[in-house]
Structure 1
Amino acid sequence: MCVGGHDVDVPRAVLVGVALVVGVTLVYGGATSVAAFGAFNPSWEGTADLRTLAGETGADTEVATNTTAYDGYGNGTVAVIVAPDEPYEAAEIRHIAAFLERGGTLLVADRNGTADDLLEGVGATARLDGAALRDDRTHYRGPALPVATNVSEHPLTTGVDALTLNHGTAVVAGESTVLVATSDFAYLDDDRNGEVDDDESLASHPVATTETVGAGRVVVVSDGSAFINVMADRPGNRAFATNVFNGSDTVLIDTSHGGDPPPVISALLTVRNSPPLQGVLVGLVLVVVFAWHRRLYPRPAAPAVEGASDPDAVAASAVGRYPRMERGRVGRLMQGVKSLNSQSDDDE
């Protein structure tokens, strides 16, 4: 087959094409996640869009797979914890508390109370109720997705008309400032039967708060799902997250309690945090490039040295060029040359 004036081996071309498709598929699969709330999950239940939004505000986006990563940050950094799947331990909380003491901002979005130990450990007064929050009148697609329309005036609520939750809960505000609350027709469905029981009542419930902790700030939202990809496009949710990120130099996405990053991302993070490993990889790349260059551009063969031809061939050429020369005489002369060459090779 001829393509662009060049002959192409069809089987080889097909093999290369299949290899490229497989390679791209493996890289994509290794660089993305399917974990709910995963920072590298681009599907509806992931939070990859939140990471993208952080970058759009001009902040550098970093991923923390361990709470020791907080040690390098403070003022000018917003750390984000979305729906942790297990409580933080005391040693881990100390790293985050020190981050707040250095002036950092911590955004916690949770709905089942897993983050309560963390909030208490860093000195915040807000907590998560844990009961299902519903609103039969002001909602998006159903009472389990309440639209909280009571918005207080605050820099974090600029341009925010409402927050939309997705099977969230309420914030027990404590001494924090309430930023956003539901309508007066919301209720906490403790038994999750979808009805207002005798021991449940209609009332406005906080869903977002802020408070000063040390030299920093803690912002609590009562639903991690408020920031998943499918909900991030809700105007109020997007505006609220943008306000939290605005003015920061770095947004630190904490995945330490949200499942392991995809293999490719994990490998990249490992290399990024290990200068010796970076040096080894650079060396390997240079070796590969050098080997590939040698293969593409092989060293040309050494040119033939005049006078180093076969003696018999030289004799025949001489007779052909000078007919008057006796072939026998030239032959004897060439045999002498061959003998000298043989002796020279033996000496070497």
Structure 2
Amino acid sequence: MDASDWSSPSVPQVVLAGLVVAIAGLVVFSAGTSGATFSTFNTEWDGASSLRSVADDAGLDVTVTGDTAAYSSATPPGTVAFVLSPDSAYRSGEAGRVAEFVRTGGTLVVAGDFGPHADDLLGSVGASARLDTGRLRDGYSNYRSPVMPVATGVANHSLVAGVESVTLNHATAVTPNGATTLVNTSDYAYLDTNGNATLDRSESVRSYPVATVESVGAGRVVVVSDPSVFINAMLDRPGNRQFARSLLADHRTLLLDYSHVESALPPAVLGVLLVRQSAVLQLGLGALVVGALAVWSRRPAVGAESVLAITSGRPVARVGRRIRQTLPERWRSAFARSDDEDRPRASPAELVAHLERRYPDWDRERVERVVSALERRDE
């Protein structure tokens, strides 16, 4: 392949280059995104990227974490932490960090539905509210379906200031156990405890709490009976965006806790967080960068071999050695780096004649390019 091949790439070369760029872009994009439900790095309908946008628009600093150690480094007063539908249990030490965050003035929002782990966390931090196990239905006040109740009973409380309703999606209810109710369903809701989508005699039609708040130490715990209130598709449903804004109001920092949500953090984010949390990794990465810079600073200067590689399409070192080894012995030293002005030199015409004999398949233009490269290497 000669220089003209590079200046005028063929269709297969263009296609190959396009595929390489596309694959590289896909790898980079995949490393920085997540398909997990509730993930702030998921921009699809079931992700929570819009929740982060609401916080950004409100001027909050957003911290995303996959480790409960972030609670220990947070400033509890002024920080609100969100835990959305944890799918694994918080160990004793992890729950202890969350509890300390709340006791020293932090606000914790736990949004769950039917799994046990949200209730376990609530118990560990000292909250009394719990989530029910039935599916909430409302045939009167809903968004297109009874399984999407629109809760309109909003209390006079700063955490729901400006909120007129909250739209739920396959939610359950909150059992307050003494906590203050923030949002109630209409009086026509019921809990479908047996999952048959029918109101049975054992099921009561009444208003059910779907959001509560209670004080724990110097902080407070908010319980929401449906984590999907905060996903991208639901934030634009009646009342939900304002509900999110109100929970974030009067705070300076939002802590998004994904320590117990599987695959919520993409590989690139996990890598950054891991390096931030490990002094050993930071030291190793720093040493790697210094070593790379040292190697780069000692790189050989670009010379004839690089030019030859461009003009011939062959690997740099192999082409340079091959060309020089074909020269007569008296000429070879003429192309070594030296300040010796008395060394024997070959004229361009001699080099052209030699290369034409050695490589009869090369055209004259290519031979002249190689000779020109060798001459520039000798300057």
TM over 0.5: yes
Quote the residue 2:49 is aligned against.
Answer: 48
Give the conservation status (yes or no) of the 8 Å contact 1:160–1:235. no
Quote the residue 1:36 is aligned against.
Answer: 37
Letter in structure 1 aligned against 2:243: F
Larger gyration radius, structure 1 or structure 2: 1
CA gap 1:222/1:279 in 2 versus in 1, 3 angstroms: same
Aligned mates of 2:290, 2:153 — CA distance in 1: 60
TM-score between the two structures when normalised by the length of structure 2: 0.73
Aligned mates of 2:131, 2:102 — CA distance in 1: 20
CA gap 1:112/1:42 in 2 versus in 1, 3 angstroms: same
Letter in structure 2 aligned against 1:107: V
Quote the residue 1:72 is aligned against.
Answer: 73
Where 2:239 maps in the other structure, the secondary structure is: helix
Give the conservation status (yes or no) of the 8 Å contact 2:103–2:218. yes
Where 1:265 maps in the other structure, the secondary structure is: helix
Aligned mates of 2:203, 2:345 — CA distance in 1: 112
Aligned mates of 2:148, 2:132 — CA distance in 1: 16
Aligned mates of 1:97, 1:312 — CA distance in 2: 83
Where 1:26 maps in the other structure, the secondary structure is: helix
Give the conservation status (yes or no) of the 8 Å contact 1:165–1:223. yes
Aligned mates of 1:14, 1:84 — CA distance in 2: 45
Aligned mates of 2:295, 2:90 — CA distance in 1: 49
Structure 1 unaligned regions, length at least 5? 1-5, 314-348
Letter in structure 1 aligned against 2:275: V
Cα deviation, 1:279-306, whole Å, max 9, x if unaligned, reads: 4435544665676788797379999858
Letter in structure 2 aligned against 1:7: S
CA gap 1:308/1:158 in 2 versus in 1, 3 angstroms: same
Aligned mates of 1:204, 1:68 — CA distance in 2: 39
Where 1:80 maps in the other structure, the secondary structure is: strand
- Quote how far apart the aligned CAs of 1:64 are: 2.2
- Quote how far apart the aligned CAs of 1:35 are: 2.1
How big is the alpha-carbon RMSD for the aligned residues of Structure 1 and Structure 2?
2.8
Quote the residue 2:7 is aligned against.
Answer: 7
CA gap 1:8/1:287 in 2 versus in 1, 3 angstroms: farther
Where 2:191 maps in the other structure, the secondary structure is: strand
Give the conservation status (yes or no) of the 8 Å contact 2:65–2:273. no
Give aligned pairs, total: 308
Q: Give the fraction of aligned pairs with identical amino acids, expressed as a percent.
A: 44
Which of these residues, 159, 162, 167, is aligned with residue 156 of structure 1? 159
Quote the residue 1:165 is aligned against.
Answer: 168
Aligned mates of 1:132, 1:305 — CA distance in 2: 88
Is 1:249 the counterpart of 2:252? The answer is: yes
Cα deviation, 1:207-250, whole Å, max 9, x if unaligned, reads: 11111111111111101111111102224111111122223232
CA gap 1:58/1:312 in 2 versus in 1, 3 angstroms: closer
Where 1:29 maps in the other structure, the secondary structure is: helix
Aligned mates of 2:95, 2:345 — CA distance in 1: 88
Aligned mates of 1:122, 1:312 — CA distance in 2: 86
Give the conservation status (yes or no) of the 8 Å contact 1:44–1:230. yes
Is 1:127 the counterpart of 2:130? The answer is: yes
Aligned mates of 1:142, 1:269 — CA distance in 2: 41
Is 1:24 the counterpart of 2:58? The answer is: no
Which stretch shifts more, 67-76 or 202-211? 67-76
Where 1:247 maps in the other structure, the secondary structure is: coil
Structure 2 unaligned regions, length at least 5? 1-5, 305-334, 348-379
Give the conservation status (yes or no) of the 8 Å contact 2:81–2:109. yes
Which stretch shifts more, 37-46 or 166-175? 37-46
Cα deviation, 1:38-68, whole Å, max 9, x if unaligned, reads: 3322221222222332222222222221222
Aligned mates of 2:274, 2:231 — CA distance in 1: 26
CA gap 1:130/1:232 in 2 versus in 1, 3 angstroms: same
Quote the residue 1:106 is aligned against.
Answer: 108
Quote the residue 1:216 is aligned against.
Answer: 219
Aligned mates of 2:20, 2:163 — CA distance in 1: 48
Give the conservation status (yes or no) of the 8 Å contact 1:38–1:259. no
